[in-house]
Each structure stands twice: as C-alpha cells, then as structure tokens.
Amino acid sequence: MLNQKLQQKLLQKLSPQQILLMKLLQVPSIALEQRVKQEIEENPALEDASVTEDGEEQADQTEETSEETENEDTEVEDDFDIEQYLDDDDIPAYKLQTNNTSDDDEQRQVPFTSGTTFHEYLRQQLNLRVQGDKEFLIAEHIIGNLDDSGYLLRDLSAMADDLAFTQNIEAKKEEIEKVLKIIQEFDPPGVGARNLQECLLLQLDRKERTETIELAKHIVKRYFNEFTKKHYDKIMQKAKIDEDQLKDSLNEILKLNPKPGNSMSDTAKTNYYIVPDFIITHKEGGLELQLNSRNMPELRLNRTYQNMLEAYQENKKKSKEDKEAVMFIKQKIDSAKWFIDAIKQRQHTLYITMKAIMDYQQEYFLEGDETKLRPMILKDIAEIVGLDISTISRVANSKYVQTPFGTFLLKSFFSESMQKKSGETVSTREIKKILSDFIENEEKHKPLTDEQLTQVLKDKGYNIARRTVAKYREQLNIPVARLRKEL
C-alpha cells in the first residue's frame, strides 16, 4: 500500500567545495600544477595571475609591485558580488544541463610510447637467421610467448597445440625446440631460456672458455639448488674445490643478467626526480618551514567575465539569450571562486600540518639522527591542529619533505610506539634503524640470525619477540641470514 508522509532527517553530506578540497589535499605539488592547468583550460573565468596578457610570465617584479597587485585583486574580489547582477527568477543551472558522469569517476588514459621494443628487436634478428616459412612462423610464435624478462614460460607441447589450432601449423615438439635453440643465440644473451638455470648457462656459453668459466658452468649445472640457497660448504665438498676457486666462479656468475629482456628497457629508462612539497632549513639554531612554490599558484578571476556581468546589469533590455549567457558566466565564476578558495585552504592545511609534524619531531630535524624520532601517529597530529584524522592522512599521502639530511616521504615519519625495559617509549622506526645498523656491520661470512638479532636488541633494552624482528627485517627488505652470507 502506497502512502505519503513528511519526515525530517539530519544527514551529514559533503558540499562540492569540501569534496574539491579533499581531492586537492591528497595530490602532491607536481600533480597540483597539472590540475591547475587543467582547471584553467576548462574554466575561462579562471586565469593565472603570474601570466601577462601576451602569455609571458612576469619577471623581475619587486615585492612592492606584487603586494600592490595582490591588494588590488583582493579589493576587486571583495567588492564583486555576482548575485546583485542576477534576477531572482533565473532558472537554476541544474535544469539547463544534463550530466550523467561524476567528477569522482576514474578516467584512464592510454599512454603512447615510441622506440624499438624488446620483441621487435628479436624479430629484426629473426629475419637474418630463419629462412623457411614454417620455421619463421614458429619463431614468431615463440617470440610472442616470451615475457618482458626474456623467459619462455609456456610448455613446448602446449605451443605445438597453439600452432595447430590458431595457425593451422603441424609442428612437433622437436621442431619447436630446434627453432628455440636458434632464438637462444640471439642478443641479449640468455633470451629464450625456460628457467633461471638455463638463462645463466646460455650466458656462460657466450663467454671465453677459461678454467673459472668452466667451473662456474659446472656449479650452475650440477649444484644449482645449493647455489641458490648459498650452501657453499656443500658445493666445495661435492665439487672438491677450495674457497678461492669457488669465490672466483661465483664472481663470474654474479656478473650475469638474470633478466636479459630488461636490459633494453634499462638503457631507455627515464630518470624520475622527486619534487618536495615542503622544505625545512636550519636558521639561527632553529627550524624554518617553507611550502614549495608549486603549492602556491597565483590565481584570479578573469576581469573580462566580470565586465560582461556589469554590462548585463546596465542593459535595460534583457532578453532570454542574455539571461542564459549570464547564468553560464555565473556558473563559471562560482566554480573559479571555489577553486581559488580550495587552493588557499589547501595551502593553509598543508602548512599547519607540516608545522605540527616539524615541531613534534624537532629533535630529529635538528640532528638528523633517526634514533631521535618520537613515536607519532595520525591521531597525535590531528589533535594538535584540530583537524580530522582523514585530513591528516590525505596531507601525508604522497608528499615529500626536503630536509638538510635528505628528502623523505612524509608518511615515513609516522610510526607506532614500543616500551623499553626502562619504561621509556620509543618509536618502532628507531628499532628498525638499530636493526639495520647491526645487519650492516655484521660479519658477512657469518651473518646474524633472527634469534641472535633478538638477543642483541634485548641487550640494548628493546624487549621484542623474534617474530617481530623477522617482521621488521622483511619491512626493511633484508633477506634471512642464510641469503646474506658471503665468502
């Protein structure tokens, strides 16, 4: 049964301005620059105040001129009121447009690259080595099945079935293996291998035959399992060689490339640089915080659009087309003002949050000693600045801070706390630093096990379990003791 009724509800919803601010907070400064450019392109009512009418950036401006310009812009914005130019009977903007997409929808773009790929490089060599049509098609199929590292992970029998079903080519396993042997002679050495052992052997076969190389091939071929697990004593015992011979052979093996397919992409690798969002410097024994200039774009409303509204007010004859035009202008100016306000709020939020973190970790930023880091969680900073934890999380996300001791990810300064035997509360990052130092200074031929590391930390007053030490070691990307062993 249908019925109608009135019901009052209290709901907490984010306004479009708040959503915009949250999105701007979580992007780093380099992404903010692109976001501002995109907004200027999409909204003609918004313009960059640092660019002249000719499109060139203003240079060599004095501080007085900058201050006067800012004051004039502020006065214009304060005196400018859009509502006084509009009639009360204007049609709401939402009735004049249809939008089936949301700003929150993820938009993915397909990247375009140029240059010779790894597989194209192999096909170029293929034209010089394979002549028969059948062998050529088999070779192309093999190259197409190689992964980016240069390995053939598909079984030859399965490839024979693929050729029969997809290309109507009857090829035996032996024929495919014969073509594969030809591809394994291509550059880079080691390509077309079916596992790491075969990849290393293919590369050793290309080297000049010496006693050390032959011994290295023997170790990889006969004692590969012991080699991967670093059971060097077993290798010396079974191969009947001394430690010096083993060491020379291992040095030759370690020079090989375990992923030959990546050798081409490594040469064309692009260098990526970190752009810090915050800069902390020492000044007169204290700390000084600055925001990166990319976080402070100079934006203002386009004066042309304001003049159009003034002309609309002076015009006594207001047609329907004029009203539609002025409503479009109002929508764009409103959007521009929201964006400018969101940028200012973002700048303020970033500054007060980083200032709170800097003051909280003042001892560390003054000395650069990681053992001076205090335990700090998002809640601690949220209580200091009076903001929500989610806001602090957005500020710390993907942001970098430049200090006299290096550039660090802001999130790395947050850590849990742990109590020492003396009752003192320390940061887990301090424990990780001490753990890393012990492993770095250990005897490489006899590395410390997790149990020994646990005992060393306990002697230092850090009462933690062995499984916790193993967890911290894995977080530091440090392998187990057996894999850290060196001759």
Contact in structure between 359 and 376 (CB atoms under 8 Å) = no
Residue 423 gets which letter from DSSP?
S
307 to 76, 80, 109, 304: CA distances (angstroms): 12, 11, 38, 5
What does the domain layout of the chain look like in residue ranges? 118-183, 197-257, 278-413, 417-484
Q: What is the pLDDT of residue 58?
A: 46
CA atoms within 13 A of residue 210's CA, in its CB half-sphere: 8
- CA dist 480 to 232, 289, 436, 486, Å? 16, 41, 13, 13
* pLDDT, position 355: 92
Q: Is 87 exposed, middle or buried (0-12, 13-18, 19+ CB in 10 A)?
A: exposed
Strands (E), 328-478: 400-403, 406-409, 417-419, 425-427
Task: Answer yes or no: are the C-beta atoms of 413 and 430 closer than 8 Å.
Answer: no
Question: Averaged in consecutive runs of 10 residues, what is the pLDDT profile of the chain (487 residues)?
Answer: 80 73 80 84 80 48 40 44 48 53 54 64 81 83 86 87 84 86 87 89 88 88 86 86 87 87 59 80 87 77 78 70 78 85 88 91 86 84 90 86 88 78 72 83 82 84 84 84 75
Cα 91 versus chain centre, distance? 45
Pairing of strands 400-403, 299-301: unpaired
List, in sequence order, every residue forming a beta bridge with 47; answer none if it has no partner: 300
Give strand ranges (E) for 416-463: 417-419, 425-427
pLDDT of residue 51: 63
CA–CA separation, 139 and 149 (whole Å): 18
In the prediction, which pLDDT does 268 show? 46
Domain at 417-484: CATH code: 1.10.10.60
Assigned token pair, 15: 């306004």
d(CA 153, CA 144): 11
